Amino acid sequence: MKRRDFIQYTGLGAGALMMPSLLLGNDIPAEALLNPGMDIAIKKRMADVALNTAKSLGATYADARIGRYLNQYVFTREDKVQNVVNTESFGIGIRVIVNGTWGFASTNSVTEDGIKKATDQAVAIAKANSKFQKEEVKLAPVKSHGEVSWKTPIKKDFKDVPVSEKVDLLLSANAAALENGANYVNSGLFMVNEQKYFASTDGSYIDQDVHRIWPTFTVTAIDKGTGKFKSRQAMSAPMGMGYEYMDGLASEKLKGPEGLNLYRGSYDIIEDATIAAKQAKQRLTAKSVEAGKYDLVLEPNHLGLTIHESVGHPLELDRVLGYEANYAGTSFATLDKWKTKNFKYGSDIVNLVADKTQVGSLGAVGYDDEGVKTKKWDLVRNGVLTNYQAIRDQVHMIDQKESHGCCYSQSWNDVQFQRMPNVSLEPGKEKYSIDDMIKDVEKGIYIAGRGSYSIDQQRYNFQFGGTVFFEIKNGKIVGMLDDVAYQSNTQEFWNSCAKICDKDDYRMFGSFFDGKGQPSQVSAVSHGSSTTRFNGVNVINTGRKI
């Protein structure tokens, strides 16, 4: 499904970073999601068929990924269910190194014969490509983990929750929005379970059960007289959690300014839809921003996208080296800057960490898709660029000996490669709340939620919008603003970072659809932060007449 088809279909609008072929897999009844799938002993035997065949054909390394990908999506608008989709995709992907060159093939025939054929094909591709290969693949060593397993620590499996309950919840949220002044509302619930079995010639057999959930909506308010329409998106985040995220626990709510509620590890969709309807209406008459320099107070569900684009992407080593030059682009954060050991990415209080272990995050797994145990590492410490994101065949290029454990493939039938781990901004160390921060700002704008986003191919110049904007004057919020977007340069922006709220305000933003590679693959990733202040950022007015 093309991104446009998807958006048209769901009416969700600007929901994702890059919307891919989302509905992977074959449609199945909801009950079939509960089928346990292939027994682990058989998976091991099948994986060994691939590894042994590869070795017998001259591979110096091989790995096999048996994947079962279960998805459930529910789409509604106003008082109607538009669609309920259940899909399943099952197969095996085999990757080999022959003559120092990668080869990959996959099949949905997970039988001895099917696997042997696919392994033959992977070896043949490696051999054919080795004629053009100029640099031999060098893999950083990984210790054998033996037979291990990992599971997202969920409390409620979405597969155990009846579809009717999910439909009712979305329709209740829609009703709440309509009662509070919305003209239209589209809502959706996306639930994903990746059951992944990995085996490699290094001696690891890893069974993982990964869960993700994303509730979202777009509420639209219309003023027929003026012909104006404004929308307000959900303040939820996609999470690496089970259906318990939908519980709406009071303990996980935070009070934002002007009646805005913000959510941490539990989301109240009905309450958020109620507030959204009121805010969408409020936007219809909000003051149009006066362009100029403002101190920005950025809420985590907004700042996450800025972190994603201006920190996550430029520090992907394959981009830095030019492998993505024809698609996503390259990076300003070049190796020579990193090698100086004093490249000031941000101000002294800026600490950005990569983390594949953070509980509740979309990127959290026990082991990556090439059998490396996941970890947390620094990208920027005290404002200085310290490291990149790299996998087994890349770390030697930055004189490191250990993979960072951030290799991922969207499916059994796509080859795994380096993908962005969760990249997050550490909270401030001193006690400091959103209220404290607003009090300290003379002329500023508080921005919450995601909006329009665009950045250049080397990640210097960016422009971001948001979901809601509030004007700050002399330490107080004085009203809602509209037509706001800020433009800056990555290094300048992060060096203008003046203050970060403490850990009590820390929350995660996330995306299901970070796109990279040709053919393109998606990956899910979270970005945590506390509300953060950036001084003197250029704000433009985006209001135009046509």
Partner 1 sequence: MAIYSKEEAKQIMEKALSFSTADACEVNLSGSESGNIRYARNTVSTAGHRSNQTLVVQSNFGKKSGTATIDEFDDESLKKVVKRAEELAKLSPENPEFMAPLGPQTYDKSITYKEATAKVSPEYRAEVANSSIEPAAAKDVTAAGFFNDSAGFSAMMNSSGLFAYNQFTDASFTVTMRSNDGTGSGWVTRDYNDISKFDAVEASNVAINKAVMSKEAKAIEPGKYTVILEPAASVGLLGNMAFAFNARTADEGRSFMSKEGGGTKMGEKIVDERVNIWSDPLNPEVPTGTWNGSGQPLKKTSWIENGAVKNLAYSRYWAEKKGVDPVPFPNGFIMQGGDASLEDLIKGTKKGILVTRLWYIRTVDPQTLLYTGLTRDGTFYIENGKIKYPVKNFRFNESPIIMLNNLETLGKQVRIDGNLVPYMKIRDFTFTSLSDAV
The interface region with partner 1, picked from 216-224, 247-255, 300-308, 430-438 by CB under 8 A, is 216-224
Decide if residue 63 touches partner 1 (CB under 8 A): no
Decide if residue 397 touches partner 1 (CB under 8 A): no
3 state SS of 167: helix
Q: How far is the CB of 285 from partner 1 (least distance, A)?
A: 14
Query: What single-letter DSSP state applies at residue 309?
Result: I
Given 458, 477, 498, 535, the residue binding partner 1 (CB under 8 A): 458
Q: How far is the CB of 268 from partner 1 (least distance, A)?
A: 24
d(CA 363, CA 365): 6
Say if residues 527 and 312 touch (Cβ distance below 8 Å): yes
Burial class (CB in 10 A: 0-12, 13-18, 19+), 143: exposed
Continuous segment of H or E residues that includes residue 115: helix 112-130
Q: How far is the CB of 4 from partner 1 (least distance, A)?
A: 6
Q: How far is the CB of 469 from partner 1 (least distance, A)?
A: 13
Decide if residue 133 touches partner 1 (CB under 8 A): yes
- Nearer to partner 1 among residue 184 and residue 190 (C-beta): 184
Decide if residue 111 touches partner 1 (CB under 8 A): no
Q: How far is the CB of 305 from partner 1 (least distance, A)?
A: 11
Query: What single-letter DSSP state applies at residue 509?
Result: E
The interface region with partner 1, picked from 141-149, 228-236, 257-265, 473-481 by CB under 8 A, is 228-236
Given 426, 483, 505, 514, the residue binding partner 1 (CB under 8 A): 483
Residue length, the chain? Answer: 546
Q: How far is the CB of 130 from partner 1 (least distance, A)?
A: 10
Considering only residues 172 to 211 of the shown chain, the ones binding partner 1 according to CB under 8 A are: 183-184
Q: What are phi and psi of 265, to 5 degrees?
A: -100, 15
Bridge partners for 392 per DSSP: none
Say if residues 391 and 375 touch (Cβ distance below 8 Å): no
Decide if residue 102 touches partner 1 (CB under 8 A): yes
Per-residue contact string for residues 403-442; x = within reach of partner 1 by CB under 8 A? ------------x---------------------------
Q: How far is the CB of 164 from partner 1 (least distance, A)?
A: 8
Decide if residue 29 touches partner 1 (CB under 8 A): yes
Given 34, 42, 128, 478, the residue binding partner 1 (CB under 8 A): 128
- Nearer to partner 1 among residue 343 and residue 460 (C-beta): 460
3 state SS of 33: helix
Q: How far is the CB of 43 from partner 1 (least distance, A)?
A: 22
Decide if residue 452 touches partner 1 (CB under 8 A): yes
For residue 56, give Cα distances in angstroms to 46, 51, 105, 203, 221. 16, 9, 17, 16, 65
Query: What single-letter DSSP state applies at residue 311?
Result: I
Q: How far is the CB of 518 from partner 1 (least distance, A)?
A: 4
* Paired tokens of 161: 């929750």
- Nearer to partner 1 among residue 184 and residue 217 (C-beta): 184
DSSP H helical segments within 29-90, as ranges? 40-56
Q: For strand 484-489 and strand 521-529, is the pairing parallel, antiparallel, or unpaired?
A: unpaired
Given 40, 84, 175, 349, the residue binding partner 1 (CB under 8 A): 84
Bridge partners for 533 per DSSP: 297, 499
- Nearer to partner 1 among residue 43 and residue 77 (C-beta): 77
Residue type (1 letter), 42: I
> Any idea of the CA torsion for 532, 513, 243, 88, to the nearest 10 degrees?
-170
d(CA 8, CA 522): 20
Decide if residue 90 touches partner 1 (CB under 8 A): no
Q: How far is the CB of 105 from partner 1 (least distance, A)?
A: 9
Bridge partners for 247 per DSSP: none
Q: Where on the phi/psi map is residue 160: left (φ > 0), alpha (ψ -120 to 50), or beta? A: alpha
Given 36, 141, 146, 519, the residue binding partner 1 (CB under 8 A): 519
Q: How far is the CB of 297 from partner 1 (least distance, A)?
A: 21
Say if residues 391 and 404 touch (Cβ distance below 8 Å): yes
Given 225, 341, 342, 401, the residue binding partner 1 (CB under 8 A): 225
Decide if residue 98 touches partner 1 (CB under 8 A): no
Considering only residues 314 to 343 of the shown chain, the ones binding partner 1 according to CB under 8 A are: 321-327, 329-330, 332
